[in-house]
Structure 1
């Protein structure tokens, strides 16, 4: 169940933001706004459609077939059966299933689009979607099968089917027949009204929900990678004055400057360089703000694209009940999300590459300025048989390479589908899934970097070149947090379990990172 002690997220009164979708995914309940104007707008759309049907008006997807079949007139006595056929024949998704967390985000994105009041659905449908979220009955949705126009038809067919009591839901962490779950919660299955199958399925809810999840993970990864860079600089005896505010004042990208300020603070750089520092560090340290800053500067644009899509009516046709217009168009096209996610995965993969390069410096005695080979903590004759982080660096290089391979933009791979009706499609859902995979791989690289960087800093302390007292509060906190999952590496041991534990902490956002307001 949603947690009733948490503040409900309200639909229909104002715009939702990315954080609202994440709150719902994490268990916040929802409610429909009580404003009379909201209810009137929704009711006007369904009433207007009813009047058109009574007058035998032609409405795409209501009195006609779908897509290329829009020229096929539906006999009046079969109009009510059409939504059932729509979600039924789209029940062909394959691949892995989205988890319940992602499914709740998808429900939130679809509900918010319909709550704009321009889809011609009944108030009862909005209530049913809200009831699914609040009862935590989440449709089991396959990841694969959408080309991103006409929206996320195949994955969203699983939402429509569940509302009608068909297919499966997640209930208490298990896969459960939808009909049985609805009955146990006293939720009667809906017989979808003529426009409601199309309204549920013909939109961008899946890609938009995935984009909300990706945005949040990328934001946290950005801040964590900045702090990891500070640890890598300390481990490699780097020059903290590469992040001087005067230096960055002459290149005024605000996000880049923000990353440089995080690093400057984490390294407690003073007014003048210490003696013996390398004049110029290698690029993966010196240019870290320039790499990370691209994502920092792109965040406002990414948020705008995602939140505008989230707060749009993105099905077809648009029903203006109060103005009595049926407007046929292409708002199901996910081009903005496709661009945002293709851009995001490129910037995140560059973080994977940056972290991998820093890790390569830390393990190599040619570049780490006096640390043992592969950061091994073994002493004496046992140093000969210990290999420290040698294999971890190989693994990180593998994960970085795979992340970089996935940066080919999905949006340029449009396919002509459905008898050339859908002859230019967005591929937005594939772009969003790619972005999440690139995030996963990059997080794995950062986990490897975390174990190595903490080992490197502790080796400096053991060699008498650093003290814990000299470390900034943020760096010290991160060092200690990583050490709750992974002890100092004296002798070789399998590190996969520790890497997974660090990944779990990262994905739960349990590591200390700089504040975005800094």
Structure 2
């Protein structure tokens, strides 16, 4: 586990997406607020529930069955066992196990929500959730099985199970039982109070956590695809006038203008002697700010929606201690997150399409203005047997097609389930998983085009058509970093390892790009 001195305090201020990411990447440690007012608010919720149970004895999910089973009364002697049953019968997830960083994000998001004080959980539960994060105990959460309302019930049951010492977890990267992990960490299995399993499971934590990760990846792609567009423009002897700030003052979408400004800045050193090959470049260059800019302009909306959900009470029922009222509603419905996921994946897939079209121009002698076929750097005497980036471009086309295919919105595929109690559901978690898949595929296409654009610039430098002075200091610095990972492609060679390395750099947000954020 990474040692660090950054603390994220739960229970004092709202969390930002970056807080969730810092915790998921173990660049920060969680701390549950010791503020007396916060702890009293949490305790008052638990006390209110106990009082209601004693005085009225009829509370959904406490003295009743769950969902369509609400009409089934639970006798007092079985109330204590009911939360355990909820955590157990939902242990039916399938599919891939969420990676540890995603599981940590889930823990952070659920903890943030429960700290809002409406869920009638105990301080002990919040302490235990904090302890899982602090000691790097990550539940093994299958990614499939949620319809996104009544929340992420099945995947979050694996969080509930870890808290009470059931099922398997990763403890500092090693798989073991939850019971053993808690013991090694010096923690005691939690005994769930009435409603606590429901409070843990009946919310949007999984879809929200996944979309927090998607957000930072999309944010980075806005910058990286802008930088690659500048490199592709240089490689294709493109016209830098397409990114003139006066153009974007006439159509002033702020994100679009920011993208154009970044590209214009990267091309600012080409100088008066530079002669573009065409007066008007093809759309994948000329309209790049208009493609990337749609995502850039939507990012503030995506952020606002995600952070509202992240810091909201999204289980059911909620307890208003100030009004001594139990509120029955549907805040577990993940419609807002589903919309962000469906919207984001469409805009990200458009980046894949843009990068694929740029690469298609770069490798084709009919459109690349004098570059060798498939960007092969071999000498003339060996050109007949060398094929450069031909197969990588085929791969990029395949990855793009798959990304575009994944853009069908998941949120419109609601299915009536659970005896028609859950008869309209959000599919938010499926949408979030789709979004991450589109991001993965797009990052693969971006890696391919980055290799192609770098190769094109190397070839222009080798022929003397472009000098380092024309690239400017920012691009030269970036290209020098790329050269540490990406060799010049002269003789044919397997490029899988290079692609995987570049993709890992992209996903790790390895290169510092432009100042300022798209959000």
TM-score range, shorter chain: over 0.9
Preserved CA contact (<8 Å) 1:241 1:269: no
Preserved CA contact (<8 Å) 1:2 1:135: no
Q: Distance in 1 between matches of 2:308 and 2:146?
A: 21
Within the alignment, does 1:327 sit opposite 2:327 as a pair?
Answer: yes
Within the alignment, does 1:403 sit opposite 2:403 as a pair?
Answer: yes
Counterparts in 2 of 1:69-468, with a 5 A limit?
Answer: 69-268=69-268, 274-275=274-275, 277-468=277-468
Q: Distance in 1 between matches of 2:343 and 2:62?
A: 37
SS at 1:471's partner residue? Answer: helix
CA distance 1:270–1:250, change in 2 (3 Å): farther
Q: Distance in 1 between matches of 2:381 and 2:458?
A: 21
Preserved CA contact (<8 Å) 1:235 1:453: yes
Q: Distance in 2 between matches of 1:247 and 1:155?
A: 49
Q: CA deviation at 1:474?
A: 2.4
Preserved CA contact (<8 Å) 1:241 1:273: no
CA distance 1:235–1:317, change in 2 (3 Å): same
Q: Distance in 1 between matches of 2:276 and 2:189?
A: 73
**Cα deviations across residues 152-182 of structure 1 (Å, max 9, x unaligned)?**
0000000001111000111121211100111
Q: Distance in 1 between matches of 2:399 and 2:275?
A: 37
SS at 1:294's partner residue? Answer: helix
SS at 2:169's partner residue? Answer: strand
Q: CA deviation at 1:412?
A: 0.3
Comparing 480-489 with 369-378, greater Cα deviation is found at: 480-489
**Cα deviations across residues 394-418 of structure 1 (Å, max 9, x unaligned)?**
0000000000000000000001010
CA distance 1:499–1:275, change in 2 (3 Å): closer
Q: Distance in 1 between matches of 2:501 and 2:483?
A: 11
Q: Match of 2:514?
A: 514
Q: CA deviation at 1:272?
A: 6.7
Preserved CA contact (<8 Å) 1:450 1:482: no
Comparing 37-46 with 157-166, greater Cα deviation is found at: 37-46
Q: CA deviation at 1:304?
A: 0.5
Preserved CA contact (<8 Å) 2:269 2:472: no
Preserved CA contact (<8 Å) 1:120 1:321: no
Q: Distance in 1 between matches of 2:101 and 2:348?
A: 22
Preserved CA contact (<8 Å) 2:269 2:470: no
Q: CA deviation at 1:380?
A: 2.0
CA distance 1:451–1:41, change in 2 (3 Å): same
TM-score, normalised with respect to structure 1: 0.98
Preserved CA contact (<8 Å) 1:21 1:212: yes
**Cα deviations across residues 410-446 of structure 1 (Å, max 9, x unaligned)?**
0000010100000000001011110100000000001
Comparing 471-480 with 262-271, greater Cα deviation is found at: 262-271
Preserved CA contact (<8 Å) 2:271 2:470: no
SS at 2:333's partner residue? Answer: coil
**Cα deviations across residues 7-36 of structure 1 (Å, max 9, x unaligned)?**
110011111100010111121111122222
Q: CA deviation at 1:218?
A: 0.4
Residue segments in structure 2 that go unaligned for 5+ positions in a row:
none
Q: Distance in 1 between matches of 2:517 and 2:113?
A: 30
Q: CA RMSD in A?
A: 1.3
Q: Distance in 2 between matches of 1:482 and 1:178?
A: 43
Residue segments in structure 1 that go unaligned for 5+ positions in a row:
none
**Cα deviations across residues 50-105 of structure 1 (Å, max 9, x unaligned)?**
01111243111001000000011101100000001001000000000011111110
Q: Distance in 2 between matches of 1:340 and 1:449?
A: 27
Preserved CA contact (<8 Å) 1:140 1:170: yes
Preserved CA contact (<8 Å) 1:46 1:321: no
Q: Match of 1:478?
A: 478
SS at 2:326's partner residue? Answer: strand
Q: CA deviation at 1:511?
A: 2.0
CA distance 1:213–1:35, change in 2 (3 Å): same
Any runs of at least 4 consecutive aligned residues in structure 1 with deviations exceeding 2 A, and if so which? 269-277, 515-518
Q: Distance in 1 between matches of 2:135 and 2:348?
A: 35
Q: Distance in 2 between matches of 1:267 and 1:489?
A: 25
Preserved CA contact (<8 Å) 1:22 1:105: yes
Preserved CA contact (<8 Å) 2:230 2:267: yes
Q: Match of 1:20?
A: 19
Preserved CA contact (<8 Å) 1:230 1:475: no
Q: Match of 2:490?
A: 490
**Cα deviations across residues 292-311 of structure 1 (Å, max 9, x unaligned)?**
00011001100001000000
Preserved CA contact (<8 Å) 2:238 2:276: no
TM-score, normalised with respect to structure 2: 0.98
Preserved CA contact (<8 Å) 2:239 2:276: no
**Cα deviations across residues 286-332 of structure 1 (Å, max 9, x unaligned)?**
00000000011001100001000000000000011232110000000
Preserved CA contact (<8 Å) 1:2 1:134: no
Preserved CA contact (<8 Å) 2:319 2:326: yes
Q: CA deviation at 1:273?
A: 8.5
Q: Distance in 2 between matches of 1:263 and 1:485?
A: 23
Q: Distance in 1 between matches of 2:415 and 2:439?
A: 26
